[in-house]
Amino acid sequence: MTSFYQEILETDLGPLEKLLAQWRTSRDALAKLPERVRDDMLTPLRDRGYWEGAAAPYAWRMIDDIERQIASAAKVADAAIGVMEDALGEFKAVKKDLQDTVRRAQEKGVFIEASGLAATTVFDGQCKVIEKDSAEAKAIEGAQREINGVVKRGIAADRNLAFALMSDVGLGQWFNSNPQHRNIDTTDRISHGDYNALNLAMQGKDPYPARQREGAYALGWDYGTGSGPRDREYHDGDKMTELIKKSVSMEQLRADTLAGWRENAAQDGTVSYSISKDGKIGALKKLVTTDLPAIITNDEEHLGEAFVGSYSLDYSVKGQDPDGSLVVEYTLNNSTSNESLLHYAGYYEWLEKTNREEGVLSTIDQKITWTERIPADGK
């Protein structure tokens, strides 16, 4: 939350207002062009018989395409203006609300740090021990909840602006003829697949990477035999990605992500699943009763966990829908190695020395990235 709290208070919205004015000018100019293309270029050639050569029909179609593309560009510009106007209004409201929230907290004696955190050892300008459930503690907790709530609105507005604009522009070579957004409150119209594609495009990556059909068994075979590349990336729709998404452990990790967002306005963070949370005996029991049966029976709800063992997911909030659903990008970095193969014995420094960089039983590093929508109720 720290950086975004400061950004809300310090960011100058003037450049966005200037950009909006420039878009309005461009939109007005574009709106007149399709008619001019038709009247000044197409009609004289086609309808008045100025050109009747063999290439004429092709030229007419090309001019038709130009007219349609300019008309589509005008639609995109009009939609983008609506999105930016709505976002600018929300940014201004968020900034004012945050300033007012901080002022009210300070008037009650709460000290707000530069990071946006309400200090828990200072009250009414004095360092002191704050007793649990005291009036001071409740004032501090209430102020933090209010600040977090306003900051979340700012984060959501920022992310929704980016994806609404990208969705309106589209990822094709031609202008989008049917932009869907004229404000930042319609991101629920963006499909799961489009979120993944748009997110990859914003990172400068191929929005539609080739599908990787290999699953846990194929990856395990390559690890054992030393076959294939030792660095691999997987995205939404790839078999390894889908195995992780289907894992039973993901239910708790999604709930932890929602909790981090709701309670701390955490736009980025890490959630973890551990096979050792119940100790080595618990880990061994899981191996015997869950992981090995999953490997034998191809149980997709547990196969991903059986393959990666304990794992952590880095997450980044990409937006929030009007119904409260959270759009999140998850990234899992995993290494299939001799060390990880023996993880049920525990994690010791000497195990790392058993890892190999090439040949049979050599380490394969995987990066699994996907974007998904978590319903507001977590289910």
Asked if 140 contacts 118 with a C-beta cutoff of 8 angstroms, the reply is: yes
Q: Give the C-alpha separation, 52 to 92, whole Å.
A: 58
Q: What pLDDT was estimated at residue 6?
A: 94
Identify the band that residue 286 occupies on the pLDDT scale cut at 50, 70 and 90: confident
DSSP H or E stretch at residue 328: strand 326-336
Q: What pLDDT was estimated at residue 62?
A: 73
Helices (H), ranges, the chain: 2-10, 14-36, 43-46, 56-107, 135-169, 192-202, 216-225, 239-246, 249-264, 279-286, 292-297, 300-308, 338-341, 349-352
Cβ within 8 Å of residue 200, ≥6 positions away? 206, 207, 209, 235
Q: What pLDDT was estimated at residue 53?
A: 62
Q: What pLDDT was estimated at residue 254?
A: 97
Identify the band that residue 345 occupies on the pLDDT scale cut at 50, 70 and 90: low
Nearest-10 Cα torsion for 183, 187, 189, 191: 150
Listed residue (168, 160, 159) closest to 80, CA to CA: 168
- How large is the average pLDDT for residues 85-102? 97
Listed residue (270, 213, 273) closest to 243, CA to CA: 213
Burial of residue 126 (CB within 10 Å: 0-12, 13-18, 19+) is exposed
Which tens digits make up the pLDDT trace of 165-187? 999 999 988 889 999 999 999 99
**Cα→Cα distances 86→82, 158, 177, 184, 284, Å:** 6, 11, 21, 6, 55
- How large is the average pLDDT for residues 117-144? 95
Q: Give the C-alpha separation, 274 to 297, whole Å.
A: 23
Q: What pLDDT was estimated at residue 231?
A: 94
Q: What pLDDT was estimated at residue 31?
A: 84
pLDDT at 314 over 90: yes
Which tens digits make up the pLDDT trace of 23-51? 999 888 888 887 776 676 666 666 655 55
Q: Which residues pair with 316 in a beta bridge?
A: 268, 329
Listed residue (295, 376, 277) closest to 328, CA to CA: 376
The pair phi, psi for residue 254, each rounded to 5°, is -65, -40
- How large is the average pLDDT for residues 140-160? 97
State the chain's mean pLDDT as an integer: 89
The C-alpha R_g of the chain, in whole angstroms, comes to: 27
Q: Are strands 110-112 and 118-123 parallel, antiparallel or unpaired?
A: antiparallel
Identify the band that residue 351 occupies on the pLDDT scale cut at 50, 70 and 90: confident
